[in-house]
C-alpha cells in the first residue's frame, strides 16, 4: 500500500464536507503523488494537513488524546461549528488490484461526553471482481462487529472467514488492535502505512539547539534532531549522507562542507565550512533557509522513505531562486520510477507553484465558514494558458484562478 487515492472529510473544523481525488469506489481521478494546496490565509490549508495528523494520532495515541492535543483543544472545538453528528474520514488507498482499492472509514463522536470511535469499516472487492459493492473485511460499530481473517477466499461466503469481536476500549481504533495480528494481513499493512505518515512543521530554532549525541534514523516533526539523523546517515548510509551534502551545497553559495561533530560534553554540533572563512560556522549561526534546505534534503534522502509527507509552507525563509528549485526537488522525488513517497504541500508562494502542473494544484477558499477545494486543472482557462507558456504561479498572481466554488448540497 503506497498511495492515497482520495479522501473525504466531514465535520472537521472548517472541513464540513471536503472531498479530494477519488471519493467514489474505483471511480474518479486519483490524487497525484505530489499535490499542492494554495489559497488565502484561513482557507483551510493547515486544517487539511492537520486532518491527516489527527487520523495518525488516533491510531498511535487514541481518539481522546488526538482530540486534546494543545493545537486542537478537544472534540467540540474540532467539530464544525453549527454541525451535528460525527467527525468522519473516508480514505481510499491503492492496492495490487487497481479496480479494487481499499476504503477505510472512521467516525468519531461524543458518548457521555467522551470522544469515541462509533464506526470503523474497511472495504475491498474480492480479487478479480470489477463490479458490485466492495465487501467489508472489518465492520465495527461502537466496537462490536466482524473481522474477516486472511486474504481473499475465492467463492467463499462472507461469513465463512468472519470472526465476531467486541473491543473493550472505544478510545482505540480497531486498526490499532487488530493491526498487531498476523492473521489480518490487510489490516496490518494499513496500520503500518498510516503509522509512517510524517507531517513537517520545521522550526529553524529547534534545529539550532544542540542535542545530546546519539544517532537517530528519523527526523522529528520540528527538525530538532537533524544533527542526530545526519550522524546516523554518515555512519550507516554514507551515500545518502553525501547526497544531502551535495544537494544543500548546490543551493547555498559558498558552502563547502557539512559534518556532525561531537563536543566534549557529548553534545552534537553541525559544522558548516564556507568559502572565504578559515573558521567553521555551527547551526546556531546558520540562516533559517540553510537549515530548512538541510532538513528537506534529509527527508528526501531517507533510506527507508515514508509513504506520505505533509509539509506546510516550505518556502518560508528561502531566497526566491531556491523556492522553485525546492518545488522541483519535491516533484522529482515523487516522479521517480520507483518512487515510494506521496507529498502534500501548502504554500503561499507563486514561485513554488511555477514549478508545478495544473493537475498538481488545488486552490482552497472558504465560503460562509466552510472550506472548499478546486483543482486548478478544472478551471477553464488555466491549462490553455499553461500550454502557451504562462506558468501557474504567474496565473495565480494575475488572478486567473477565479472560478467561484460551490458548497456541497445540503450543507449550510
pLDDT tens per residue across span 287-298: 999 999 999 999
Question: Does 46 have pLDDT greater than 50?
Answer: yes
Query: Are 93 and 5 contacting, i.e. CB atoms less than 8 angstroms apart?
Result: yes
pLDDT of residue 153: 45
pLDDT at 390 over 60: yes
Residue 304's pLDDT band, with cuts at 50, 70 and 90, is very high
Q: What percent of the chain has pLDDT over 90?
A: 69
DSSP state of 340: -
Q: What is the pLDDT of residue 410?
A: 47
Question: Any idea which of 63-77, 96-110, 281-295, 378-392 has the lowest mean pLDDT?
Answer: 96-110
* Of 31 and 24, more confident: 31
Flag whether pLDDT at 318 surpasses 70. Answer: yes
Q: Does the structure show a pLDDT above 60 at 107?
A: yes
**Separation in Å, CA 46 to CA 72, 120, 347, 410:** 12, 25, 10, 25
Burial (CB count <10 Å: 0-12, 13-18, 19+), residue 341: buried
Confidence of residue 272 (pLDDT cuts 50, 70, 90): very high
361-384 mean pLDDT? 93
Element (DSSP H or E) covering residue 364: strand 361-367
Max CA distance (Å), the chain: 75
Q: Is the full-model pTM beyond 0.85?
A: yes
Contact assessment for residue 14 and residue 47, using Cβ atoms and an 8 Å cutoff = yes
Answer yes or no: are the C-beta atoms of 206 and 227 closer than 8 Å: no
Residues 6+ apart with CB under 8 A from 38: 45, 346, 347, 348, 353, 361, 362, 363, 364, 396, 401
Phi-psi region of 150 (alpha: psi -120 to 50; beta: other; left: phi over 0): left
Residue range 193-203: mean pLDDT, rounded: 93
Q: What is the pLDDT of residues 150-173, one digit of tens each?
A: 655 444 555 566 788 999 999 999
Confidence (pLDDT) at 179: 73
Over the chain, what is the mean pLDDT?
89
CA-CA distance, 282 to 273, in Å (whole number)? Answer: 9
Query: For position 377, what pLDDT does the model report?
Result: 94
Cα gap 63→168, rounded to integer Å: 14
CA distance 54 to 354: 30
What is the per-residue pLDDT for 254? 82
Higher pLDDT, 150 or 364: 364
- Quote the pLDDT of residue 336: 84
* pLDDT classification of 406: cutoffs 50, 70, 90: very low
**How much is the average pLDDT of 209-225?**
94
Q: What is the mean pLDDT of residues 320-343?
A: 92
| Confidence label for 276 from pLDDT (cuts 50, 70 and 90) | confident
DSSP string, 175-221: HHHHTT-TT-HHHHHHHHHHHT-EEE---HHHHHS-PBS---SS--T
Mean pLDDT lowest among 109-113, 158-162, 257-261, 338-342: 158-162
DSSP string of 22-67, one letter each residue: --BTTBSPPPPSEEEEE-STTSSHHHHHHHHHHHHHHHHH-HHHHH
DSSP label at residue 69: S
C-alpha grid cell, residue 211? 542535542
Amino acid at each position: 500500500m503506497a498511495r492515497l487515492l482520495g479522501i473525504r472529510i466531514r465535520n472537521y473544523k472548517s472541513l464540513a464536507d471536503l472531498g479530494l481525488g477519488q471519493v467514489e469506489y474505483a471511480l474518479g481521478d486519483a490524487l497525484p503523488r505530489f499535490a499542492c494546496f494554495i489559497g488565502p490565509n484561513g482557507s483551510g490549508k493547515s486544517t487539511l494537513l492537520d486532518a491527516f495528523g489527527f487520523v495518525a494520532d488516533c491510531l498511535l495515541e487514541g481518539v481522546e488524546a488526538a482530540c486534546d492535543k494543545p493545537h486542537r483543544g478537544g472534540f467540540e472545538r474540532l467539530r464544525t461549528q453549527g454541525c451535528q453528528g460525527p467527525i468522519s474520514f473516508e480514505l481510499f488507498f491503492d492496492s495490487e488490484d487497481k479496480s479494487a482499492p481499499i476504503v477505510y472509514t472512521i467516525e468519531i463522536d461524543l458518548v457521555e461526553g467522551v470522544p469515541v470511535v462509533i464506526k470503523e469499516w474497511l472495504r475491498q472487492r474480492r480479487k478479480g471482481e470489477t463490479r458490485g459493492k466492495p465487501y467489508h473485511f472489518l465492520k465495527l460499530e461502537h466496537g462490536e462487529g466482524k473481522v474477516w481473517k486472511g486474504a481473499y477466499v475465492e467463492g467463499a461466503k462472507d461469513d465463512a472467514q468472519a470472526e465476531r469481536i467486541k473491543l473493550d476500549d472505544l478510545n482505540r481504533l480497531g486498526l490499532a488492535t487488530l493491526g498487531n495480528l498476523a492473521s489480518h494481513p490487510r489490516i496490518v499493512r494499513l496500520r503500518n502505512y498510516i503509522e509512517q505518515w510524517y507531517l513537517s512543521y520545521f522550526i529553524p530554532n529547534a534545529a539550532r539547539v544542540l542535542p545530546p549525541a546519539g544517532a537517530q534514523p528519523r527526523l522529528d516533526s520540528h527538525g530538532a534532531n537533524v544533527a542526530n539523523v545526519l550522524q546516523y546517515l554518515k555512519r550507516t548510509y554514507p551515500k545518502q549522507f553525501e547526497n544531502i551534502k551535495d544537494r544543500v551545497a548546490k543551493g547555498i553559495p559558498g558552502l563547502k562542507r557539512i559534518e556532525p561533530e561531537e563536543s566534549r560534553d557529548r553534545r552534537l554540533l553541525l559544522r558548516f565550512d564556507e568559502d572565504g572563512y578559515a573558521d567553521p560556522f555551527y547551526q546556531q549561526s546558520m540562516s533559517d533557509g540553510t537549515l530548512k534546505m538541510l532538513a528537506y534534503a534529509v527527508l528526501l534522502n531517507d533510506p527507508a522513505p515514508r509513504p506520505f509527507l505533509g509539509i506546510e509552507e516550505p518556502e518560508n525563509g528561502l531566497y526566491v531562486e531556491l523556492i522553485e528549485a525546492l518545488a522541483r526537488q519535491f516533484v522529482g522525488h515523487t516522479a521517480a520510477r520507483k518512487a515510494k513517497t506521496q507529498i502534500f504541500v501548502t504554500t503561499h508562494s507563486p514561485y513554488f507553484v511555477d514549478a508545478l502542473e495544473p493537475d498538481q494544484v488545488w486552490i482552497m477558499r472558504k465560503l460562509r465558514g466552510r472550506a472548499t477545494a478546486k483543482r486548478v486543472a478544472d478551471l477553464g482557462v488555466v491549462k490553455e494558458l499553461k500550454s502557451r507558456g504562462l506558468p501557474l504561479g504567474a496565473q495565480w498572481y494575475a488572478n486567473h484562478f477565479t472560478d467561484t466554488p460551490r458548497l456541497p448540497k445540503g450543507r449550510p
